[in-house]
Chain A
Amino acid sequence: ETGVTQSPTHLIKTRGQQVTLRCSSQSGHNTVSWYQQALGQGPQFIFQYYREEENGRGNFPPRFSGLQFPNYSSELNVNALELDDSALYLCASSLPEDRAGELFFGEGSRLTVL
């Protein structure tokens, strides 16, 4: 059984640029969630995708957008990067019938914005 994989693991961007982060969900999982973890804080919910449709969104501006593909993999896109976007971005997959909140997380993509 393949776990959740994310790429890239580390990247550096400058303010104003755009970034795309990728996630492959655990085998058989059709729900993908993205979280942002700033330094010293807990993960914050960005949005969730279920069967290629957005299924819930946290308090993040529209320049944070996502996609889910037919194979359930997902992308997180962030436009017009700001310094405060520097964080660890975590992808998590699950099945809707799984017990609430039991997510399987990837190792994350660490984004640094200069």
Chain B
Amino acid sequence: DQQVKQNSPSLSVQEGRISILNCDYTNSMFDYFLWYKKYPAEGPTFLISISSIKDKNEDGRFTVFLNKSAKHLSLHIVPSQPGDSAVYFCAATEYGNKLVFGAGTILRVKS
């Protein structure tokens, strides 16, 4: 029972363009959503989050959008840089006790 789904295993984008990573969820009790980035041989690192009471959160080049009615969130990276190449995990939590992760999307930014 996958409560958080990332349907695109990989995404390739040209440097300077926009990267859009998508995530769908099924549990309507999730109240907080996060994106983590993971480089090879490193642990995941927190990138950006959004509360269920908001529909947008921005931090520099990174913006997360939440559509609660569609149970969908997306991460926009503008402009994309080669250093953004990594695996991106979408995660959700209910009352902050545990994170439920998606399977991840590999982002490749070509220079």
Contact = CB atoms under 8 A, between A and B. Distances in A.
A44 B103 CA distance: 10
A100 B95 contact: yes
A107 interface: yes
A81 B45 CA distance: 29
B98 A56 contact: yes
Contact of A44 (B46, B96, B101): B101
Contacts of B93: 100-101
Contacts of B97: 48, 55-56
B77 interface: no
A59 B9 CA distance: 25
A14 to B, nearest CB: 25
Interface residues of A, number: 25
B44 A105 contact: yes
B102 A42 contact: yes
A20 to B, nearest CB: 19
Contacts, number: 63
B96 A101 contact: yes
A87 interface: no
Contacts of B49: 99-102
Given A4-B43, A99-B49, A105-B44, A42 B95 contact: no
Nearest to B1: A59
Interface residues of B, number: 26
Given A42-B89, A42-B104, A101 B43 contact: no
Contacts of B78: none
Given A48-B97, A107-B41, A41 B34 contact: no
B47 to A, nearest CB: 10
Given A42-B89, A43-B89, A102 B34 contact: yes
A108 interface: yes
Contacts of B102: 42
5 contacts: A42-B89, A42-B101, A43-B89, A101-B32, A105-B43
